[in-house]
Copies of this chain bind each other. A is one copy, B any other.
């Protein structure tokens, strides 16, 4: 078959008719599948079961420095947990603050502190300014965008490229507008594009000269150790080192968590920052809580031993995940290869495949899938305000389904993309004939 965009109206009509028939037959089966959930399945979770037994010696609930993990105190986290999370974030343990179960919550809280109180370098708390703006590389993570939206911060979309955010645009924007106070980044296996920022991108980010003296990068290294090919992981250079070299040590907060390392929602989250920022944020966090769950911190530190133990654990995860990604990628290739209707990435880590349809086909595709029993992340969710300007990005999460279900769902997705594309191209032919 030729590429769809080269087909004549008659050919498209015929193809569309054939696809509709096929679609109806599948829809009639009443499937109920889901490719929207970026989380491990239960079998995969079981490799972390040892964590539940990591702290049963009840005489041993003291941290290595003697801290009683069963009692209050130690807001910044116990030493062994700070060391473990420092390994994930590629920083020194004394630059790390280990918090509760959610790095998203830590980001939300840090943004709240900057919003209500400003940063040490802020002329004023952000809430006192007429406008606060934020750079949002897109496609990106919907929950990041929801956090900034929740604070009433104006989001500016920056396109993602294969090496990270479009840095020419980022440099231009932050230099020109002092209302731009920050930026979301997922530097490794970015959600959903799978892109790992290139060394040049990291260096240019670290060397930014923003008009705002209190510009702050939120560096969410959510997939720091989440390689699908552990022997050939993507390499992310150290933002912290680059910031120091560039004389911008305070310009970023780094975040990560064990949510997709052990149990999602029952893991530990951490942030890293310059000493100045760390002590500033810790002081503000001390108003909201006495301390986080140190028993769970100790459990994680004991279970992994060190970052090497965590990396070995991640190999087992990759063993579960890689085949699921492969089955979806293979199916997409089989369904859509050579048709000129979609492009997608081949992720080397993380939890998602990002797919771009022809312009204006993403919403229709997701709708068609839904009607035939396959749930996908809503089209547009990967953009600020849920609005994809070209209506073409679809985020595929292959991890929660069984490989069989993932294949079936991807087959339907392929079919729906073809159907939506044929409809779209046919509409264009009709319009161009009419004009």
Contacts and interface: CB of A to CB of B under 8 A. Distances in A.
A71 B52 contact: no
A291 B42 CA distance: 17
A146 B286 CA distance: 9
17 contacts: A39-B71, A42-B71, A45-B68, A45-B71, A52-B58, A56-B56, A69-B263, A71-B263, A72-B259, A102-B288, A102-B290, A108-B287, A108-B288, A143-B290, A264-B290, A265-B294, A266-B295
A265 B74 CA distance: 10
Contacts of A291: 265
A151 interface: yes
Contacts of A108: 287-289
A153 to B, nearest CB: 11
Contacts of A112: 112
Nearest to A264: B72
Interface string A283-299: 01001111111111000
A109 B295 CA distance: 23
Given A52-B58, A53-B58, A150-B288, 7 more contacts: A39-B71, A45-B70, A108-B287, A108-B289, A112-B112, A150-B284, A265-B291
A40 interface: yes
Contacts of A61: 52
Contacts of A143: 290
A257 to B, nearest CB: 11
Contacts of A127: 127
Interface string A262-289: 0111100000000000000000100111
A165 interface: no
A116 interface: yes
Closest 8 CB pairs of A and B: A49-B58, A108-B288, A266-B295, A150-B287, A70-B263, A105-B289, A102-B289, A72-B264
A101 B104 contact: no
A258 to B, nearest CB: 12
A40 B72 CA distance: 9
Contacts of A42: 68, 70-71
Given A49-B58, A101-B100, A69 B289 contact: no
Interface string A53-86: 1011010010000001111110000000000000
A45 B430 CA distance: 76
Contacts of A105: 288-289
Nearest to A41: B71
A172 interface: no
A127 to B, nearest CB: 6
A177 interface: no
Given A52-B56, A293-B293, A116 B151 contact: yes
A48 interface: yes
A105 B295 CA distance: 18
Nearest to A116: B151
Contacts of A72: 39, 259, 264-265
A324 to B, nearest CB: 16
